[in-house]
Amino acid sequence: MQDEIADGASILSYVRDPAVECAVAERIDYGIKVLHASWGSAAALWTEIARTTGRPGTMCSIAVTG
């Protein structure tokens, strides 16, 4: 039986490997913890509350499905 939800290490590899290949890995802060996320159907937009490591920059979310 195939796992319905991948483990954390698999998800990190799925995101990190292409980032390394595209030479953007150094721009990604993996220390962001999403505390809450909610979907707004009217705007078709996710709203998130997150805690960061304190590194300055712009935060964006990437949703990955497979």
Number of Cβ atoms within 10 Å of the Cβ of 32: 15
The answer on pLDDT for 66 being more than 50 is no
* pLDDT on residue 35: 86
* pLDDT on residue 42: 92
**Structural domain boundaries in the chain:** 1-66
Whether the Cβ atoms of residue 28 and residue 19 lie closer than 8 Å to each other: yes
d(CA 50, CA 34): 4
Angle at alpha carbon of residue 43, lines to 12 and 53, rounded to 5°: 35
Q: What is the pLDDT of residues 4-57, one digit of tens each?
A: 788 888 888 888 899 999 998 888 877 788 888 888 899 888 888 888 776 666
